[in-house]
Amino acid sequence: MQPSLKPAPLLPVPVVFLGVDRDLARRLALCFAEIHWGDEYRIAPGFQWRQPGEWKSALPETGPGMAIVEITAEGSQTEAELIRGLRAYNSGLQLVLLSEDETDYFRIAQDFSIGNVLKKNRFDASVIRALSIRLLTGNIFGFDPYFPNGYTVGPLYRTYSGRVVVMDMIEETWADCLPYLNPEESASFRIFLQELLTNTFSYAIEGITPADRDSKLLQTGPVVDIAERRGIKISLAGDAEKIGFSVMDSMGSLSMLRVLQKLRRQSRIAGEKMPPGIWDESGRGMSMVYRYSRFIINILKGVRTETIFLQYNRPELNRYESIIITEVNPLSH
């Protein structure tokens, strides 16, 4: 009898909160202590808290690691210098911003191409777990990090290619999802579903440029022809507390920067009376998904894009306004 192979040991990965808020550090520590990572990911994140000037004592100069950087209204310049230092020290470090509502976190995210921003008063262990798995393992596609206890619905899959009547496809998808939805949240689910599908048709199928979409010079046609190799994959999954819906294209033409720009133009920050892009022709639908569900975007540039929203049965759990965007260049991996 041959001896069984032992599984590879878990990889210890440092995760360091760099900030001054003691209560925030305590809440993060409790989240990490609560998380069961599972053997499939082969990681063992270890959480630490350090003052912003003490990060070199906790983060590796090479190899994986994650820094969660506190962003405050008073110290944006200091925080920008901290992020530059982290990037110069170890380009492989994953960065997450933890921000106050009144801070223009979009500006810092755009300046440093950081696609993951959590609000200080709106995060929980499930968000932290999924975010850590995606950033530390590179497993960015699919539902698994968001459903640690498995599924009670699906995952169910359908792929569309060939000649497609857009509104018929949207109605058909909606009808497929409806039996699994919380009736009180079904109307918003319908809006989010249509927004994700419409965006996918615009960018990935018809090739409408961002400038044309913004000016409404071109709109998605009522009927589109989708090459088989460019098929759109739609997925639905659920557990006792939520339903997840995803749309994946085979183009990878959406960009992190564009998403950040659109979300910023539909956001009020630091006393603004109204969003700067309130009259924009595009971006409002995406912003609605971001504000009223858990919204995730995964991009493998030039290959595929996946947009996901998670809708919880308890409406208050849908109001987290987390930015979770991962953009990967296949040539750099």
| Pick from 168, 174, 216: nearest CA to 191 | 174
Amino acid (one-letter) located at 143: F
**Could you tell me if 69 and 97 are in contact, meaning their C-beta atoms sit under 8 angstroms apart?**
yes
Per the omega criterion (within 30 degrees of 0), is the bond before 210 cis?
Answer: no
Structure tokens given for 247: 């749309």
Same domain, 16 and 93: yes
Residue 6 inside a domain? The answer is no
Question: Which among 90, 121, 137 is the end of a domain?
Answer: 137
Query: Which pLDDT value is given to residue 39?
Result: 81
Domain of residue 87, residue span: 11-137
In the chain, the number of structural domains is 2
Q: Are 155 and 131 found together in one domain?
A: no
Indicate if 95 and 72 belong to the same structural domain.
yes
Task: Output the six-digit token pair for 260.
Answer: 């950040």
In a domain, 1, yes or no: no
Other beta carbons less than 10 A from residue 268's beta carbon: 13
Same domain assignment for residues 125 and 218: no
195 plus 309 within the same structural domain: yes
Residue of 239, 241, 240, 259 whose CA lies nearest to 307: 259
CA distance 124 to 122: 7
Tokens 């939805």 sit on residue: 181
- Mean pLDDT in order along the chain per 10 residues (333 residues): 60 92 96 89 92 92 94 76 95 93 87 93 91 92 92 92 90 93 88 88 64 58 82 94 93 88 84 79 80 90 92 86 88 61
| 130 and 148 together in one domain | no
**Residue 207: its pLDDT value, please?**
58
The pTM of the full predicted model, rounded to 2 decimals, is 0.89
Whether 222 and 250 share a structural domain: yes
pLDDT at 216: 58
Tokens of 3: 């001896």
Give the CATH number for residue 92: 3.40.50.2300
CATH at residue 327: 3.30.565.10
Mark whether 82 and 162 lie in a shared domain: no
Chain Cα centroid distance, residue 153: 22
pLDDT of residue 170: 92
Domain boundary among 87, 103, 137: 137
State whether 105 and 238 are in the same domain. Answer: no
Helix and strand counts by DSSP (H, E) for the chain: 9, 13
Residue 194 CB contacts under 8 Å (≥ 6 apart), including other chains = 170, 174
Check residue 235 and give its pLDDT: 96
Tokens of 256: 């992190």
Pairing of strands 294-300, 304-312: antiparallel
Domain boundary among 84, 112, 137: 137
